Structure formats: structure tokens, C-alpha cells
A = this chain, B = another copy of it.
Amino acid sequence: MSTQPPPARIGDTVDQVDTPALLVDLDAFERNLDRMQAMADAAGVDLRPHAKTHKSVDVARAQMVRGAAGQCCQKVSEAEVLVHGGIDNVLVSNQIAGDAKLSRLARLARRATVGVCVDDAGNIADLSRHALAAGVQLRVYLEIDVGMGRCGVPADAAAVALCRQVIDAPGLAFAGIQAYHGKAQHIRGAGERAGAIRHAAAIVRTMLDLLSAAGIACPSVTGAGTGTAQFEADSGLWTELQAGSYAFMDADYARNLGPDGDPDTRFEHSLFLLATIMSTARKGTAICDVGLKSTSFESGLTLVADLPGVPYAGPSDEHGTLVVDAGQSVSLGQKLRLIPGHCDPTINLHDWYVGCRDGIVERIWPVSARGAFF
């Protein structure tokens, strides 16, 4: 509720930005966007970047002008923010339960192409009812479980029956298969990661064969994340990639390895947390102002980009403890860039992106879908 004013003004130097702040290195960010779009283009598949990462109409637009086919999101309220911001093609890559949300979803389809995932017959009936009431057609994707072990059904005759139910349901259009293997994204070794997607591809192939045998055309197969997108793109099965984190990267993704066993550096860190040193009273440590309320820790600790070798040893709500040895000078009021452990939940803690180029603030973007979890 407390919408804080932006922590910087356009034209400020980075050192003038108030903290904690979410800094975007615009050059690295734009290279990341170009690289993923080029990879999709080279493979002849669509890129539908995931807005659950960026939660930003401005980032979505930057992806769309480069050729993205639309946006993914996880929540109806995120889809609303995107459509209100001018994005005309949105897939909620998730199941939506409950009349309040289904009604909002259907009404949104009056203004944009809206897709949603299903894995339940009752939910399909509910979607149809709400689509009819709103006078719209919803694009419906059957989610199959390709190894994630979360939502989705097995690729079997019952799954074909659900697709048939979608085809027969008024107000719904069968749009294809959702096949996302979230657990594969952070498998460190490239060979093992490729193996997980080969396993997923076998399940997708089974599903496509079952649909074909039933005389059902499958318009698309959508899925993939930053860690595996190259494998889905090369599979010949997926028609659309849903990667999100590639725009920014984070400490967790940076631990993934490429095919040569070295860290995978195709996408660059473009997202940083700017922190201020607020206490140097205790020998051997320096305390900064980035803690649990400005960065996320469930995927490992934040890294200190500007002081390599200085560990961020642990957070409290509004503090981070840096372990500084005698040879390292850190002063009260000093500003430092950190790399978040996990970009998606970190961004969701902030109201503003501060986009910088050559050390100068060039863009201030709202995190327009911050807190949109309905």
C-alpha cells in the first residue's frame, strides 16, 4: 500500500540512488533480450517471456518490440496489469480456481487474447461457464506433468478426454499443451539438464501421438525456462518458449554450467541490488541495508558484486552482514551492488526498477504487477 517514491531521478549517478534499490544494467539487459529472441528465431519457435519474473509492463514492451509472441504470467491479476498496459496476448500458465478469479479472467478476454491452463474436468466446465457469461472465447492449454511433479496430468487417454472436453466446451478453444519442467531449470550440469528435457520430450511425444490418433490437432506446445530453453527449442516438439529469468539472471542461475562444464555465461547479470553500508562498528563485519524485505534467500545467499570474495553472511529483516577482513576497506555510507539469489521473488519486493547506462540513471520503471498474486 505504501507506494514509495522512486529512489532516483533520471540523470542521477548510480551513487545518488537511494537504497535499497533494484538497478538494471540496461546494456546487459538489452543484450539478454536480444540473445533469447535470436535463439528462438533461429530455432523457428515463438518466445512468450514469463512476466512472473519481471512483473513490468515496460519490460514486457521491450520484449514485444523484439518479436515476442505475447507474455506469460501466473496470476489473473498479473494478466490484468499486462493487458491494461497494452499487451494484447497473455497466457496465464497456471490453473485458476474459484469464481472470483474465473470471472475476472473471462472479462479480460474481451480486451486481449487470453490463455489459461487446465488439468481438471470440473475446472474446464467452470471456465466454459464463465467464458459464456462474459461472451468471450478463452484459449485453453492442457497441462501435462513432464517431470515437475506439481500441476498437470499424465499423458494418457484421460488427458485426451480432457482435450476433447475443451474442444466441445462452448466459449473455449483448445490451444495446445502446457509442458513445463520447472525442476530441470537449476540442474547444474548441462548434460543432466538436457537429459531431463529429453525425458520431458518423450512425454510430450506420447501426448502428441495420442492426440493425433484421436484426430485432435494440437496447435502448440508451450513451456521451457531460462535453464533449458535451448533444449526445448532444439527438440522439434515445443513451439513456444516461456523463459523469464534470462532478462536479469541471478546467483542461482549463475551456478548452472554450460556444455563445456564451465559456468553458462550466455545470459549476463543485469539486475543488481544497490545497498548502503549502515554500520561498521563491529570489527570484521560491515552491515548493509539489504535484508529479507528487499531480497529473497530461499535459493541461496545474495552475492556482493562490487567486493568479490566478501561474503554476504546472512540476512535479518532489514540488515545484511558482510564479512570483511582486515585488508578490505568498507566505509559507512558506501554503496555496493549485490546480486540477488533469486530474481523473481526479489523483484516482487520492490516498487521500482532503476535502469542505468554508463553509470547514469536512464529509466525509472514501476514494478507494475508487484503484489499481484490474485
A residues engaging B (CB < 8 A)? 1-4, 7, 18-20, 52, 55, 74-75, 77, 81, 94-98, 100-101, 119-120, 122-123, 143, 145, 149-153, 182, 276-282, 285, 287, 289, 292-294, 296-298, 315-319, 321, 332-333, 342, 344-345, 348-352, 366-374
Please, which residue of chain B has its CB at the minimum distance from the CB of A182? B316
A287 to B143, CA, bound (A): 14
A367 to B3, CA, bound (A): 11
17 contacts across the A-B interface (CB closer than 8 A)? A1-B352, A1-B366, A2-B371, A7-B374, A18-B101, A20-B373, A74-B318, A97-B289, A119-B279, A122-B332, A150-B316, A150-B319, A151-B279, A151-B281, A153-B281, A293-B344, A349-B373
Nearest CB of B to A153, in Å: 5
Write out the residue numbers on chain B whose beta carbons fall within 8 Å of the beta carbon of A280: 120
Asked if A372 contacts B2 (CB within 8 A), the reply is: yes
Nearest CB of B to A23, in Å: 15
Please, which residue of chain B has its CB at the minimum distance from the CB of A159? B281
Write out the residue numbers on chain B whose beta carbons fall within 8 Å of the beta carbon of A298: 292, 297-298, 315
Please, which residue of chain B has its CB at the minimum distance from the CB of A280? B120
A296 to B345, CA, bound (A): 10
Asked if A317 contacts B293 (CB within 8 A), the reply is: no
A145 to B285, CA, bound (A): 13
A374 to B152, CA, bound (A): 41
Asked if A150 contacts B4 (CB within 8 A), the reply is: no
Nearest CB of B to A248, in Å: 14
Write out the residue numbers on chain B whose beta carbons fall within 8 Å of the beta carbon of A319: 150-151
Asked if A351 contacts B371 (CB within 8 A), the reply is: yes
Write out the residue numbers on chain B whose beta carbons fall within 8 Å of the beta carbon of A152: 279, 281-282
